[in-house]
């Protein structure tokens, strides 16, 4: 990417989009454009098309999506399918029509079959049934990958797809009903410590395993792949290491300094038993993660002092 290239970040206020902007700014890119959702509703085809025709960006990071944790995915099933299909279809098609040089579509590790062999290789896509709790989100993301590939095949568009593992970092969502496990547990342990509550309730059995990547690492990987990777298909972005949710809870409990007990709400779903990325393709392309989980959680916890619940 040339330093003066016009770069559109879709989803710039989200955890991923804001991390990509921090990375681009740090690398000296200044011609970055974005719109808030009230300025541009990405579900509106005409509005998105007009925006692309007017702005004609050179590069696009498609990080806009309706996202959430296991309960949000399972509750707002229609919105997760509709909003994501609309957002990504409008952007990908408008990017093609406006002659965008390159577009990166960000997906998720939940696109893989629920019971796929671990670690998850890119080639396992569409080889089995999806996890039920996030099937609508996964179907939308799979459509996004296939759309990038179809536009490449039919029109020669340089549209690439990357699949991040579970992410955490600055600008994460701390709403206890809608968030992912890592921010939820930080908040639960912190509030329990502050209010001297004797136990913290975590969801499910704690036996599922997840892989966690700091969003600054993700942004670095996206920046790297935007400049080096030009293939169809998908590339996993992760650390290659996972942890059981109950061990994640103990790690966070320690960092927060909470001394009470952990209890389990078994009415809440466990979701996929394991979701560990195989990151061989990414490391062969020349990139590896550098922020350890402990270090990452400490950085995140340090940055929360301005939250109203802190």
**Interface contacts to ligand GFB, rule CB under 6 A:** 69-70, 73, 108-110, 133-134, 137, 166, 179-181, 184-185, 202-204, 208, 210, 245, 268-272
Which CA distances in Å does 34 have to 11, 31, 38, 85, 103? Answer: 8, 10, 12, 20, 15
Q: Give the nearest distance from C-beta 29 to ligand GFB in angstroms.
A: 27
Q: Minimum CB separation from ligand GFB for residue 270, in Å?
A: 4
Q: Which residues of 228-262 are buried (b: 16+ CB within 10 A; e: fewer)?
A: ebeeeebbbbbbbbbbebbebbebbbebbebeeeb
| Tokens describing residue 257 | 């300094």
Cα gap 171→300, rounded to integer Å: 9
**Nearest to ligand GFB of 151, 189 (CB atom):** 189
Shortest distance, CB of residue 275 to ligand GFB, whole angstroms? 6
- Burial environment of residue 15 by CB neighbours within 10 A (0 to 12, 13 to 18, 19 or more): buried
Q: How far apart are CA 193 and CA 251, in angstroms?
A: 15
How far apart are the C-alpha atoms of 157 and 150, rounded to whole Å?
A: 9
Q: Which position's Cβ is nearest ligand GFB?
A: 69
**Which CB, 92 or 185, lies closer to ligand GFB?**
185
Active site (annotated) includes residue 137: yes
Catalytic residue among 137, 168, 174, 229: 137
**Cβ 109 to ligand GFB shortest distance, Å:** 6
Q: Which is nearer to ligand GFB, 157 or 165 (CB)?
A: 165
Minimum CB distance to ligand GFB smaller for 151 or for 203? 203
Which H or E run includes 145? helix 135-155
Which residues are designated catalytic? 137
């Amino acid at each position: 990417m040339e330093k003066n290239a016009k770069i559109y970040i879709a989803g710039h206020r989200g955890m991923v989009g804001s991390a990509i902007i921090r990375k681009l700014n740090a690398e000296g890119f200044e011609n970055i454009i974005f719109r808030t959702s009230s300025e541009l509703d990405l579900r509106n085809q005409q509005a998105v098309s007009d925006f692309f025709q007017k702005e004609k960006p050179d590069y696009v990071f498609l990080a806009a999506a309706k996202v959430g944790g296991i309960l949000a995915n399972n509750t707002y099933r229609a919105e997760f399918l509709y909003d994501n299909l609309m957002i990504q279809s409008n952007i990908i098609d408008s990017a093609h029509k406006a002659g965008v040089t390159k577009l990166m579509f960000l997906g998720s590790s939940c696109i893989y079959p629920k019971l796929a062999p671990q670690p998850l290789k890119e080639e396992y896509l569409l080889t089995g049934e999806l996890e039920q709790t996030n099937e609508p989100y996964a179907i939308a993301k799979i459509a996004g990958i296939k759309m990038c590939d179809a536009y490449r095949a039919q029109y020669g568009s340089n549209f690439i797809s990357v699949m991040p593992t579970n992410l955490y970092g600055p600008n994460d969502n701390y709403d206890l009903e809608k968030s992912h496990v890592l921010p939820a547990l930080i908040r639960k342990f912190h509030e329990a410590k502050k209010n001297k509550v004797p136990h913290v309730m975590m969801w499910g059995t704690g036996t599922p395993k997840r892989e966690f990547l700091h969003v600054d690492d993700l942004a670095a990987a996206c920046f790297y792949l935007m400049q080096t990777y030009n293939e169809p298909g998908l590339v996993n972005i992760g650390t290659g290491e996972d942890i059981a949710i109950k061990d994640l809870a103990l790690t966070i409990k320690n960092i927060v300094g909470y001394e009470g007990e952990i209890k389990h709400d078994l009415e809440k779903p466990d979701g996929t038993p394991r979701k560990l990325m195989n990151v061989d393709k990414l490391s062969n392309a020349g990139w590896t993660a550098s922020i350890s989980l402990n270090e990452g959680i400490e950085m995140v916890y340090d940055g929360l002092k301005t939250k109203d619940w802190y």
